[in-house]
Amino acid sequence: MVKDFWSKGWLKFPYDPTVAEWVNHALPVACESVSNPAFAEWMDCEGTWFVGVDALPNDTEGRVAQSQPLSGPAIGFLAEHYGKLPLHKGQVSVIYPGYPRPRCGESEAAGRYRRNRDAAHVDGLRPIGPDRRRRIDEPHAWILGIPLTEASEDAAPMVLWEGSHILIRDAFELALAGHPHETLHEVDITEVYQATRREIFETCSRIELPAKPGEAYLLHRHCLHGVAPWGATATASPDGRMIAYFRPEFAGGVAEWIKLP
């Protein structure tokens, strides 16, 4: 399992009853967040995607409502290899039939990329300014997805490019070389990011990663990933295809983000 994660950039963990019990507590709270006016800004893509950043009110150990701390095989794996990092409030990402529709303010080119390339991205590289320049402004340690609702395999599953984390790491390590640690988050990596994405699309296998409540999946922080379109025959819970995501950040910033395995 360990070898697979470092070489492929992802792992899927089988059903675990402690994860399923956590989901039982988290799901009602997550559903409330979708209709909460405080999070209305997160409903996007013409009502086909609730982005839900920080919408799950868990504590730093993952407790939500009356649940126990978030545990299970994935959390054990992460604690062993990354240490025990405090969790942020989870993202409640919900996809509905018809996704993807255009995102608010999205250009025609960006809309095509969303449809044809699953909006593939590396987390933490948000576009900044009118020219949408990219810098590493959120040095996540890892990406953990925990499905909260039942959905068919073609209901807009997570998509990843296997082995892409290696290409991203190598390209970014070269781009950041020679810069002081305290200014790494200021380095413009736009061109190298775009060039590396093109190489990934040409050389790495695209993998769809559907999962059910009680299961979990883990992505390497450098892994290129996105969301597939909602399939023509896809089905899901009335609450949509809902997944809780956790991406804690490294205390050591971008220097830790680029150097650690």
Contact (CB, 8 A) for 32 and 242: no
Report pLDDT digits (tens) over 180-201: 999 999 999 999 999 999 999 9
Residue 138 clears pLDDT 70, i.e. is over it? yes
Residue 1: per-residue pLDDT: 66
Report pLDDT digits (tens) over 209-245: 999 999 999 999 999 999 999 999 999 999 999 999 9
| Cβ-count burial 216-243 (b if 16+ within 10 Å, e if not) | bbbbbbbbbbbbbbbeeebebbebbbbb
Residue 105: per-residue pLDDT: 87
Q: Rounded to whole angstroms, how far apart are CA atoms 79 and 149?
A: 26
Residue 129: per-residue pLDDT: 79
Report pLDDT digits (tens) over 94-104: 999 999 999 99
Residue 2 clears pLDDT 80, i.e. is over it? no
Name the CATH code of domain 2-259 (choices 2.40.70, 3.40.30, 2.60.120, 1.10.287). Answer: 2.60.120
Residue 3: per-residue pLDDT: 76
Residue 10: per-residue pLDDT: 98
